[in-house]
Structure 1
Amino acid sequence: MESKTLVVDLCGTLVKTNTTHGLLLFREMPLLRRAVAHCLLSRPATIVLTRLSGDVQRRLLVRLLMGLAEFDLQAIARSYARSALQNLPRKEVLDRVVSHKQAGGELYLASASLDVVVSAFAELLNAEGYVATRLRYTGDYCQGVIERDSTGNKLAELRALPHFDGKDFEAITDNPEDEDLMQAAEKFWFIEND
């Protein structure tokens, strides 16, 4: 018997890419920001930044969103999510999500990716809810910093959602750091990345 609730990770699980990186490199992102993201994600920069601290690269990438209007960022994220689901899906996972929803099941996305990206995927997939890393905004503009990071804390954040009961769910992830989800799930599917 299938669980009523399915929890799915996004990056590397539902789509075959890091969606924060994908958003920053997406064709609708302003050209200068896209060019800087490309440099920060280059192999030499990744090697140097990883040696400094595993989090430096991510913080610099998020900083590229500073000053973007929330409405514009949401529009870019929606367009990016449509493109990623069409061009970079992990087909077996997407098929599982679609069949689960068609059977009347509940879907929750649980990701360490940025909230603007995860909410766009959640909207396209008609998910009941999601957890993600939250960006900080002042008024209508992104500050380019993380307000709350969901990395390693997805289960607690899911349980804080008003309609997630957390008693009987299945989980699909490619992240070893999602150990809390895997242990709490009735069934889990661990995706080995290609």
Structure 2
Amino acid sequence: MITELKPNVYIVDVCGTLVRDDTTLGLLRHHFARDNTRPLRKKLLNAISNRRSPLWFAFAVAEKISRRHLLKHFAVYLLAGDSQEALNVSANEYAKLLLAKRKVPTVWPLLEYPMANNQVVLASASLEPVVAALAELTNTRYVASTLEQHNGILTGRYATDLTGIKKEAIVKRYGKEVFDGQVCVVTDNFTDRPLMEGTAQVYIVLHDAAHRERWNGVDANFIGIDA
């Protein structure tokens, strides 16, 4: 049952919650499509994104053994040598496409009022260029994973990866006061469980009804991905 709380801060995941895409892979796919000078990396990205690909399967096995997110680090490595400015241009274009065509329809009505009143913080382990572009377009604050660069050129490595540490990133950027009042968390991401602790309200976006079992023990409002 949805409660009648009126949170003053909404912390919202991006990928699979605000929009349907994995926006790290989506941004890279959009960015590489704009640059035909290095076709091999586009092929590699397509291969690691395709669940029928032997390369995707190899990463899946390696991630299970190592318990590390190897695929996304490899994807980011493909950015090595690109300029931050060029990626920002791609991110702005891609963010507009996401808002035009890839919104999760059941989530946006919930956020209409808080977005209009600067009460939303986008909290994503996706790449900062696309999350920052989405934040600017939606009148929200944000935290996101950052990319390492030297003199404006990307190294192909993360500077910071926010997976599992979103709360710490929000406190570092906006202060612990963010969590002093009633906070609502909206996510589909299991790694956001630490972010939910002590919050007044939680909405979990389910991509499949069977996924609800994963959230046993979490006091939340469950909403489907489609209206």
- TM (normalized to structure 2)? 0.79
- The residue correspondences of 1:78-117 to structure 2 (distance < 5 A) are 78-102=92-116, 104-117=117-130
1:182 aligns with 2:196: yes
Q: In the aligned structure 1, how far is the partner of 2:193 from the partner of 2:20?
A: 20
Q: In the aligned structure 1, how far is the partner of 2:134 from the partner of 2:198?
A: 24
CA deviations 1:74-94 (Å, max 9, x no partner) are 110011011011111101212
Q: Secondary structure at the match of 1:144?
A: strand
Q: Which moved more, 1:47-56 or 1:14-23?
A: 47-56
Q: In the aligned structure 1, how far is the partner of 2:84 from the partner of 2:193?
A: 32
Could you tell me how far 1:29 is from its partner in structure 2?
Answer: 3.8
Task: Identify unmatched segments of 5+ residues in structure 2.
Answer: 209-227
Could you tell me how far 1:180 is from its partner in structure 2?
Answer: 1.4
Q: In the aligned structure 2, how far is the partner of 1:188 from the partner of 1:29?
A: 38
1:152 aligns with 164
1:30 aligns with 2:35: yes
Q: Which moved more, 1:163-172 or 1:69-78?
A: 163-172
- The residue correspondences of 1:1-194 to structure 2 (distance < 5 A) are 1-26=5-30, 28-31=33-36, 32=39, 33-43=41-51, 44=53, 45-53=55-63, 54-102=68-116, 104-127=117-140, 129-162=141-174, 165-167=178-180, 168-194=182-208
Could you tell me how far 1:55 is from its partner in structure 2?
Answer: 2.3
CA deviations 1:132-160 (Å, max 9, x no partner) are 11110101111110111100011111111
- TM (normalized to structure 1)? 0.91
CA contact (8 A) 1:5 1:108 kept: yes
2:213 aligns with none
Could you tell me how far 1:60 is from its partner in structure 2?
Answer: 1.2
Stretches of 4+ aligned residues off by more than 4 angstroms: none
Q: Which moved more, 1:30-39 or 1:140-149?
A: 30-39
Q: Secondary structure at the match of 1:191?
A: strand
Q: Which moved more, 1:135-144 or 1:21-30?
A: 21-30
Counting matched residue pairs gives: 192
The aligned amino acid for 2:179 is G
Task: Identify unmatched segments of 5+ residues in structure 1.
Answer: none
CA contact (8 A) 1:74 1:116 kept: yes
Q: In the aligned structure 2, how far is the partner of 1:36 from the partner of 1:69?
A: 20
Q: In the aligned structure 1, how far is the partner of 2:113 from the partner of 2:178?
A: 21
CA contact (8 A) 2:87 2:129 kept: yes
Sequence identity percentage:
28
Could you tell me how far 1:105 is from its partner in structure 2?
Answer: 4.2
CA contact (8 A) 2:17 2:104 kept: yes
Q: Secondary structure at the match of 1:91?
A: coil
